[in-house]
Amino acid sequence: MLDGPAIPASGEATASAEQARDGALFDARPAEPPRGAPDAGFAVSASFDVEPDESAVEAVREVLAAGGAPVRLAAQALGALGPEAADQLRDDPWNLLALSGISPQQADLFAQTGLGRAADPDDPRRTRALIVWHLTRAAGEGHTAADAAAVASVLGGFGVQDGLGAVRAAYENGRVMAFAERPEPVDEVEGFDEGADLDDDFEEEAPDLDDPFSGPSERVLVALERHALAEEGVAEAVVRLMSTAEASDGPAWPASPLGEALRAAGVVLYVTGAGEDPPAAPLALTRTVDARVAVAAATLDGRGRLAGVGVEGAVTVHGLIVGAEGPARSPDGLLDVDLLVVAEAHLLGPQTVEALLEAVPDAARVLLCGDPDELEPAGPGRVFADLRDSGLVPVVGSRERGAGVLGSLTVAVRAGSLPPVDSPDRQVVLVGARSAAEAVHRCVQLVGDSIPRALGIPADDVLVVTPAGGGSAGTSALNTALKERLNPGPGKYGGFDIGDRVVRIPQGRDTGLLEGRVVEAVPDGLAVAYRDLPGDPVTVPRARLGELRHGWAVTVRQALGLRRPGIVAMLPGDAGALVTRALVYTAFTRAQRHLSIVYPAGGNLPQAVARTADGTRTTRLGAALREAARESGLILH
């Protein structure tokens, strides 16, 4: 070890300095793909695949090598820290924690090697980096904020003596934002004499309520700036649209629950029926109302489904935001619309919703359609659910009921039960398996033979969904078996062969994954023809082939925003607590025509459907909505 006391990380630091220098510590714990990517828009374009400047890469390599970190992390460091990554790592080696998959232990050893001495566990650079690292990990689990006391406890586990002081220092330094959840203000206190003189001592000791760490509070939440500002932006935009909605102005809204809600409010939520896709009542309204209407989908797949039912000019939310799709804009950048309808809005995160609502003019209406009973969005936040729970915006429930056995099944699962399935037309098929190996075998049979032969659904239109990537029946095992059956080959090109079905999960997770097929090996990489992108194939550079995954099977969460004619829902026995009602419901509602359910014989699927997920995402949108509404004089219901 280097001289001086070891800095605890994840309990204790056990690796040697020699391990740090030769990269063994880093190789022992390879970087994982990001669990919660930033909530930004995405489009397949040349800019997505631009290679970083070689001189900048070389500068980062030098800094990494000096600290004993693998130089292969250089491109990732530039992506995480920007073009000044080399200077940032040199001035503050704990910035290495910004890289996905880097642990505090690795960052500590990198810092010690670079500094040439043992570092102080309470070094402000270290504590700030640990706080940001923890909040980033929390965002990967869907949280946009965290309890300051809990963050302080985490810091204590890494040897920080004054965890709460470090959190406060990070707030004062501007690395995080902090918010005190204080008791609701009281308008009038009985017996209080407004004319009485205040005691001088009381004046001196009165807490500074602008300081979230001072004065009475139920708890203090801390958040990364990008998440906090986005949620505040959503709240302000919602309140603006609600405040400027005049029932006497604008189109003549129909006399229906949805029409009445739109007449009175600037933002309305429409909760779809079980598996309802697309949202029937909102689309019917757009066909009858005399107004300038735009209809947007959260994903490319969703846009295609809207077009498939005759919605002319359907766009993606991202395309609408960046101006690549949709109606014209006014000189001040606002959309030329009276009504904006958004399908599958429950998939959108705070930053996307903020950008979307900010583009809507005063007095226009926004109708957000979604299903909050599905799995929560892949990125941080729960905007649709927070709006539903706020009491600020009207919520209209669908009257649609699913058709056939599949429709009845999804309605029952949504309510928490798993009824017996009797489906003579084979709309729903149950396939029991005694082991994971048998489950994988059955899955391959279904995709490669049974479903195409018996139902006429091509294998390309059948998608396998499973709870997780790992495990004996996760996406890795399933894709290996499915490739062997459907497109065998040695993986000649970075693990892929021509004809392989692949998916690429963009950085903006709420835009959905992209499914495609490898069509050609080109000098710069692989050409992929994407299912939902017309035009020429897109080249994925060699350096980014790691962003591709085989795509015959995906996780249920990755399938959010997708629908396919045939779905094989793999629910293995070793998935444990991952199999909840929301996951099963989401898996089943991906199916448009046929659903095969592969599950352990004698398993506990009914109990899993009855079980809801533990805990709720920690967000600030609800509080931000209440604050913005109170300041504007809006009434919460």
Tens digits of per-residue pLDDT, 354-363? 999 999 999 9
Number of H helices, E strands in the chain: 24, 19
Q: What is the pLDDT of residues 13-28, one digit of tens each?
A: 334 444 444 445 565 3
Place domain 228-400+618-632 in its CATH homologous superfamily. Answer: P-loop containing nucleotide triphosphate hydrolases (3.40.50.300)
CA distance 635 to 349: 25
Answer yes or no: same fold for 228-400+618-632 and 404-603.
Answer: yes
146 CB contacts (<8 Å, ≥6 apart)?
Answer: 134, 135, 138, 221, 222, 223, 618
Q: What is the pLDDT of residues 588-634, one digit of tens each?
A: 999 999 999 999 877 788 988 988 877 789 999 999 999 999 998 88
Dihedral angle of Cα 482, 488, 490, 494, to the nearest 10 degrees: -60
pLDDT tier at 279, thresholds 50, 70, 90: very high
Give the number of other CB atoms < 10 A from CB of residue 485: 16
What are the CA-CA distances from residue 121 to residues 107, 108, 111, 150 (Å)?
12, 9, 11, 18
Most confident by average pLDDT, 52-56, 297-301, 543-547 = 297-301
Q: Which residue has the higher pLDDT, 180 or 247?
A: 180
Q: Which residue has the higher pLDDT, 18 or 127?
A: 127
Q: What is the pLDDT of residues 402-416, one digit of tens each?
A: 889 999 999 999 999
pLDDT of res. 210: 80
Q: What is the pLDDT of residues 548-589, one digit of tens each?
A: 999 999 999 999 999 999 999 999 887 788 899 999 999 999
* DSSP strand pairing (538-541 vs 525-530): antiparallel
Q: Are 554 and 503 in contact (CB under 8 A)?
A: yes
Given a cut of 90, whether residue 513 has pLDDT beyond it is: no
Give the number of other CB atoms < 10 A from CB of residue 198: 8
pLDDT of res. 5: 34
Range with the poorest average pLDDT among 34-43, 455-464, 543-552: 34-43
pLDDT of res. 195: 54
pLDDT tier at 73, thresholds 50, 70, 90: very high
pLDDT of res. 51: 61
CA distance 492 to 190: 80
pLDDT tier at 254, thresholds 50, 70, 90: very high
pLDDT of res. 209: 64
Most confident by average pLDDT, 269-283, 508-522, 610-624 = 269-283
The architecture CATH gives domain 404-603: 3-Layer(aba) Sandwich (3.40)
Q: Which amino acid is at 346?
A: H
Q: What is the pLDDT of residues 144-176, one digit of tens each?
A: 999 999 999 999 999 999 999 999 999 999 999
Domain ranges of the chain: 17-175, 228-400+618-632, 404-603
> In the chain, what percentage of residues exceed pLDDT 90?
74
Q: Across the chain, what does the average pLDDT equal? A: 88
